[in-house]
Structure 1
Amino acid sequence: MSPTRSLALVSLSSVLLLAVTATDAQAAVQRFDGRYTASYKGLTANARMTITPARNGTWMYLTTVDHMLANMSQATVFQEVGNHYRPLGGSDRSSYASVKRGVTTSYNWATGQARWSGDVKPNRAGPVSLQNGDMDALLINLALARDVPPGRPLSYRMVENGRARPMNYRVIGRERVTIGGRNYDATKVAQGGTEKQTIAWIVAGIPAPVRIVQRENGATTISLQMNSWSH
């Protein structure tokens, strides 16, 4: 091989290595603070999603909804393992009037089991056997934001509420969205059918969906609309 051709191959390899490194850096978990408007059965509330560093290289993904009549919070502590977001523990808290509900999720990857405690029915307490790549609903939000822009497969397994089930999303279109006065191109993805469906709007570079809508029998039951975001 001539020195010129050898040098060209080395240069090409360097470019490819830089491209892969840049892609990996973009895919890595980042801080995120998103402000949303939430709607549920006619009620409108302020909502917030945050991703913040926790201990020992782990992260916390927190979603809160605040209304004068009700409050809700969902949190997942997770770590990035290869191409997976691995949940380590979670909590789901809600209050409405004088009624409060709380559920804690524990993921034991050493034994390969997930369990639930708190306000859960005995048949939803687990254990559920874990598989590599399992996530909860919050982490699937992050996976969609990561996987939709490069066109990766959108098939996941969700472990939540004492059971495991597949979550297969599909691209259903594109739409222009406005966030904080700026226009973005969003990809719409959907999961489910006519009886119950979840639709998410994904914008490249934003670490979480900019809009999420849940529908039952064609009617919207829950929606989240992003108003602003920052790292």
Structure 2
Amino acid sequence: MLAVALPAAALEPFVATYQAFNKGKLAGSATMRVTQGNAGRWQIDLAVKGTKGFARIVGLNIEQSTLFDVRDDRYIPLTQATVKHALFTGKKMTGVYDWQTRQAHWQGDIKKERRQPLPLQDGDLSALLMNLAVIRDAEPGKQLQYRVVDNGKVRQYQYAVAAETEIVAVDDLSYDAMRIARTNGGNDETIFWVANGVPTPVRILQRDNGEDAIDLRLSDYQGVQ
């Protein structure tokens, strides 16, 4: 079905629940939450939890959050935190985006070379904020580019939005969604599917060497006050 470009909806608080798959097998669940707090600032949180038997997989036991501002429909990261859980171990990293000095820096359980300040550019995002950016920016056939500064690294992400929608089904729910696929990741692929009227991606798939790895599929979402 041909996709039709529609105006992006204004950002609103929501909570979304995902089924988490690993290599095609149901392996846990995830919750993504967007809230608005004091001084008009926003926060996005993602928590992925693996079921018993998948506790060793760090990608399925992770908590992330980004505090951010919204100005002229731009998402401006202010702080970022990541907590990775593994059997008997855990790692925590925190970062600050200092827009006065236009530098970002991280501390915690992170390699020494990644603690060096990184220069900030207008439009920079955290990895979590890409989930909201693709909702805001997706149009049929459009090329998307993002510069992501996260956990002491800078990465460039390029995506292509499909010209036609496709059906994405999770249990008894189905969405007519646009596919947004990374084009510069090499063997490290990320694919989003976004649907009109849904404030969060309906599916987020990471693929390694051509095979499905972590796969989040939306099972429920609702607005929150």
- TM-score category, normalised to shorter length: 0.7 to 0.9
The structure that is strand-richer by fraction is: 2
- Residue 29 of structure 2 aligns with which residue? 46
Q: Could you tell me how far 1:182 is from its partner in structure 2?
A: 4.2
- Residue 211 of structure 1 aligns with which residue? 203
The alignment partner of 2:129 has SS state of helix
- Residue 103 of structure 1 aligns with which residue? 93
The alignment partner of 1:154 has SS state of strand
Query: Is the 8 Å Cα contact of residues 194 and 218 (structure 1) preserved in structure 2?
Result: no
Could you list the per-position Cα deviations for residues 116-168 of structure 1 after superposition, in whole angstroms to 9, with x for gaps in the alignment?
11000011112110001100111011000111147765111111122222211
- Residue 225 of structure 1 aligns with which residue? 217
Which amino acid in the other structure matches residue 155 of structure 1?
Q
Instruction: Identify which of 82, 86, 106 aligns with 1:116.
Output: 106
Which amino acid in the other structure matches residue 175 of structure 1?
E
- Residue 161 of structure 1 aligns with which residue? 151
Query: Is the 8 Å Cα contact of residues 196 and 216 (structure 1) preserved in structure 2?
Result: yes
d(CA) in 2 for partners of 1:44, 1:215: 16
Instruction: Identify which of 11, 16, 19 aligns with 1:37.
Output: 19
Percent identical residues: 37
- Residue 188 of structure 2 aligns with which residue? 196
1:88 correspondence with 2:78: yes
d(CA) in 1 for partners of 2:91, 2:173: 38
Question: Structure 1 residues 194, 131: closer, same or farther in 2, change over 3 A?
Answer: closer
Query: Is the 8 Å Cα contact of residues 73 and 94 (structure 1) preserved in structure 2?
Result: yes
1:148 correspondence with 2:131: no
The alignment partner of 2:27 has SS state of strand
Query: Is the 8 Å Cα contact of residues 149 and 204 (structure 1) preserved in structure 2?
Result: no
Consecutive unaligned residues in structure 2, runs of 5 or more? 1-6
Query: Is the 8 Å Cα contact of residues 147 and 153 (structure 1) preserved in structure 2?
Result: no
Query: Is the 8 Å Cα contact of residues 194 and 216 (structure 1) preserved in structure 2?
Result: no
d(CA) in 2 for partners of 1:167, 1:176: 25
What number of residue pairs does the alignment pair up? 208
Higher relative contact order (CA 8 A, sep 6+): 2
Q: Could you tell me how far 1:217 is from its partner in structure 2?
A: 1.0
- Residue 62 of structure 1 aligns with which residue? 45
The alignment partner of 1:206 has SS state of coil
- Report which of the two structures shows the higher radius of gyration computed on alpha carbons: 1
Query: Which of structure 1's runs of 4+ aligned residues deviate more than 4 A?
Result: 149-153
Query: Is the 8 Å Cα contact of residues 38 and 224 (structure 1) preserved in structure 2?
Result: yes
The two structures have a TM-score, normalised by structure 1, of 0.83
Could you list the per-position Cα deviations for residues 45-72 of structure 1 after superposition, in whole angstroms to 9, with x for gaps in the alignment?
1110010112210011000112343632
The structure that is helix-richer by fraction is: 1
Which amino acid in the other structure matches residue 184 of structure 1?
Y
The two structures have a TM-score, normalised by structure 2, of 0.85
- Residue 3 of structure 2 aligns with which residue? none
d(CA) in 2 for partners of 1:60, 1:53: 6
